[in-house]
Amino acid sequence: MSLDRSHCETLRPFLQASRVLITSHVRPDPDAIGSVLALREAVFQSGGTPTCIMEDSCPRRCLSLAGADDIVTADSAGEQAPFDVAIIVDCGNQERIGDVLRFLSTSARIANIDHHISNTRFGDVVLLDTDASASGEVLHGIFHNLGVKLTPTIAASLLAGILTDTGRFRHTNTTPEALRVSAKLVEAGASLSELTEQLYFTIPSADVRAMAKILGTLELFESGRIATMHVDGQHTVEDPDHLVDLCRAIENVEVAVLFSEMRDGRIRVSMRSKTNVNVSEIASSFGGGGHERAAGFRMFGTIQSVQQRLLPVLRSALEKLPDDLQS
């Protein structure tokens, strides 16, 4: 479901705004960061003035992307006059931008750009393509329609999102179109090998030590079809999600879950399913969202209490599968 030129044109006034806020969801991943940075450069190209504010800081593995140093956190942004124009990208609902909401004026015009099927279609302009592998892919189409120049730095930012949201081109959302767009981004100057090295294989030694502790928390339920691990406050890693991917890779596991303690007393729950369970629907029932095979939510409680609430829901999802998928 690609966006046509007339639909994309509705974004042009946002790119040309003299003062536009660009943001994305809390705990941003490379698709969120890459999309924000690509939009930042597109705004500059269009004659506008962008300000990039996120609730959480830019992940270390994304710092090599052009413009990452210009992203500020809500805590460090200081006093700002309310923004009347904002672009929110890769975010299923407006509340997921967290404390950045306070920087919007009550009458702010909002452009919502996303690819998540759980998107609530908030905002004044909605550019949603649920067939796209990543928001980076959505933006590639929008920029093409608007005549935004695909510089090497924009290409790298967009490819970072596609690369990670497809799990390095392993997940079922690795469509022919995702591969075609990725090829165009490489042709425009993005280095797939450099991005892969930066995003996946430049890991602080402290994170590797923490991973050893987290892997030791592995539990299996329902005859090994549900796997869980947890991250306590003492063993945090910058990017715990690839640990849940490893959990998902265990033979016979259908659903993998990683529970992570957060500073505000909530538990962050990251879910992955292998082939059959729609974890986006489960996440939505707990106030979260995501994709059919990768989704999450946050909930106040302890790791144990949240796990006790989630496990029956996962068991029920497995029981609803056709008989030939039960074992």
Residues 6+ apart with CB under 8 A from 243: 211, 214, 215, 229, 231, 237, 258
* 325/327 Cα distance (integer angstroms): 6
Residues 6+ apart with CB under 8 A from 229: 214, 215, 217, 218, 219, 243, 244, 247, 256, 257, 258, 259
Give me the pLDDT at residue 118, please. Answer: 83
- Please state the domain extents for the chain: 5-200, 205-325
205-325 folds as: Diaminopimelate Epimerase; Chain A, domain 1 (3.10.310)
Residue-level pLDDT, tens digit, the chain, 327 residues = 679 999 999 999 999 999 999 999 988 999 999 999 999 999 999 999 999 999 999 999 999 999 999 999 999 998 889 999 999 999 989 998 999 999 999 999 999 999 998 899 999 999 999 999 999 999 999 999 999 999 999 999 999 999 999 989 988 899 999 999 999 999 999 999 999 999 998 888 888 888 888 999 999 999 999 999 998 877 777 777 778 888 999 999 999 999 999 888 999 999 999 888 999 899 989 988 777 888 889 999 999 999 999 999 999 999 988 654 554
* 240/261 Cα distance (integer angstroms): 11
Contact between 59 and 24 (Cβ < 8 Å): no
For residue 315, count other CB atoms closer than 10 A to its CB: 15
Report the top-level CATH class of 5-200.
Answer: alpha beta
Give me the pLDDT at residue 326, please. Answer: 52
230, β-bridge pairs: 259
Residues 6+ apart with CB under 8 A from 296: 268, 269, 270, 271, 283, 288, 289, 290
Give me the pLDDT at residue 28, please. Answer: 92
* 288/282 Cα distance (integer angstroms): 8
Give me the pLDDT at residue 275, please. Answer: 83
Give me the pLDDT at residue 1, please. Answer: 63
- Residue 306: C-alpha distances to residues 76, 228, 261, 294, 315 (Å): 31, 12, 11, 18, 15
* DSSP conformational letter for 246: H
- DSSP assignments along 275-293, one per residue: SS--HHHHHHHTT-EE-SS
